[in-house]
Amino acid sequence: MARTPVRARLRAARLGPRDVLHVGSAGLRSRPVRVVLSALGIAIGIATMIAVVGVSASSQAQLMRELDRLGTNMLVATPGEPMFSGEDVKLPKDAVGMVGRIDGVEEAAATGDIKEAVRRSEKISEDETGGIAVKAATEELLKVLRGEVAAGRWLNQASGRYPSVVLGHVAAQRLGITSPGQQVYIGDRYFTVVGILGPLPLSPEIERSALAGWQGAQKLLGFDGHPTSVYERSSDSSVHAVRKLIASTVDPRNPQNVQVTDPSSALQAKAATKGAFSGLLLGLGGIALLVGGVGVANTMIISVLERRYEIGLRRSLGATRGQIRIQFVTESLMLSGLGGLAGVAMGAAATGIYAYSGGLPWVVPPWAVGGGFGATLVIGTIAGLYPAVRAARLSPTLALHAA
């Protein structure tokens, strides 16, 4: 007795990864102008986010390099606020030696304020100071500050006894001094400029000063020998301990008359707050990204409406609803991915231009690149879901008939 053959159940062919990419990119290849315009919204959002993070990271990297070079182990002792009005608080003349004897202190130096104005010539009024102070300085000051002489030389035992000064770079600019050998007028005589300092981010008061030798200032400018600021460097491990001891060491009877500050804290705070406005700009970038996602969704919905005949034909040839959904979700992902790649490149390029123009290191955090591109994929998936579901629900008969 012959057996009745059993008919095999028909199953829809599965789409491999290569097939999914092929059908998903078909709509992109046929409408290149629309693809570019739709991806542009995504690209602008991602570029904004990458550029904001990159610029902030580059600026912070520069500040941290500056901190590493200058160190965070410098403290400055200055006279505190007087308890009674009219009281004159001064540091002892041997304050530098006192600070230098504290355990952990490696170097110490001082400056003292001088009540004189520095002018380009005696014909300029004394009231026109240009915000430049005149200070006496010990020979160790430049070493403690880790500063550099941009031109000329620093004060030494010989030049510090005679009418010679070293200018901070801001003071030199305001006085119009471009090179050593020129003269400035202080008190009642001319002083020869023997050096011009480079920038000192930890000591902006030195940048705006004319520095005379300690002994020369006492002999020529009436300096009383009391330091106004004592700078010290200690080992990193002993900074906190030294800070607690400075005031009581300099003035054991009235430690409240000594104020101790950490100049590096300003740069540290600046580095910490460099991204204060990054959140706002990132929010604007996120809004641009969402607008780009809406544009992608709109493009996909229009694509579904325009391609009803294609969808109906594929369904009539055996494509399942799941395959239709995968096709349009893949197309949306590819559209968003192209915008994301373009946005990452644009953001990195903008960061590079900013860093190059400002002399900063070019830093684009990997997490920003990965997070930004991942956001585009999420946006693409969400934007493509509704159009994909709508396309899958189209009836093959109605789609072909409508076409």
pLDDT level of residue 270 (50, 70, 90 thresholds): low
pLDDT band for 17, please (50, 70, 90 cuts).
confident
pLDDT value for 133: 93
Bridge partners (DSSP) of residue 211 are: 135, 166
Pairing of strands 164-167, 118-119: unpaired
Cross-strand bridge partners of residue 105 = 234
Q: What is the pLDDT of residues 90-119, one digit of tens each?
A: 899 999 999 999 998 989 999 999 989 899
The lowest-confidence range among 11-15, 78-82, 287-291, 389-393 is: 11-15
Can you tell me the distance from the alpha carbon of 93 to that of 251, in angstroms, rounded to the nearest whole number? 11
CA distance 214 to 235: 27
> For the segment 298-314, what is each residue's pLDDT rounded down to a tens digit?
777 777 777 777 777 77
Predicted local distance difference test score (pLDDT) of residue 300: 76
> pLDDT digit string (tens) for 195-252?
999 988 878 899 999 999 999 999 999 999 999 999 998 887 888 888 899 989 988 8
Coil, strand or helix at 261:
strand
- Residue range 5-29: average pLDDT? 66
Instruction: Evaluate whether 133 touches 165 at the Cβ level (below 8 Å).
Output: no
d(CA 333, CA 375): 11
- Cβ atoms of 193 and 177 closer than 8 Å: yes
pLDDT, mean of residues 263-271: 63
Q: What are phi and psi of 362, to 5 degrees?
A: -90, 110
What burial class does residue 282 get, using C-beta atoms within 10 Å of its C-beta: 0-12 exposed, 13-18 middle, 19+ buried?
middle
Quick one: pLDDT band at residue 280, thresholds 50, 70, 90?
A: low
pTM of the model: 0.59
Please tell me the distance from the alpha carbon of residue 392 to that of residue 327, in angstroms, as a whole number.
Answer: 10
In the chain, what percentage of residues exceed pLDDT 90?
Answer: 26
Model confidence pLDDT, tens digit, residues 133-146:
999 999 999 999 88
How open is the CA angle 248-253-256, to the nearest 5 degrees? Answer: 60
Overall average pLDDT of the 65-86 stretch:
73
For residue 13, pLDDT over 80 is answered with: no
Neighbour-count burial for 31-69, b at 16+ CB within 10 Å, e otherwise: beeebeebbebbbbbbbbbbbbbbbbbbbbbbbeebbee
- Range with lowest mean pLDDT among 28-42, 126-140, 152-166: 28-42
Q: What is the mean pLDDT of the chain?
A: 81
Q: Is the pLDDT of residue 368 over 70?
A: yes
pLDDT at 380 over 90: no
Backbone angles phi, psi at 226, to 5 degrees: -85, 120
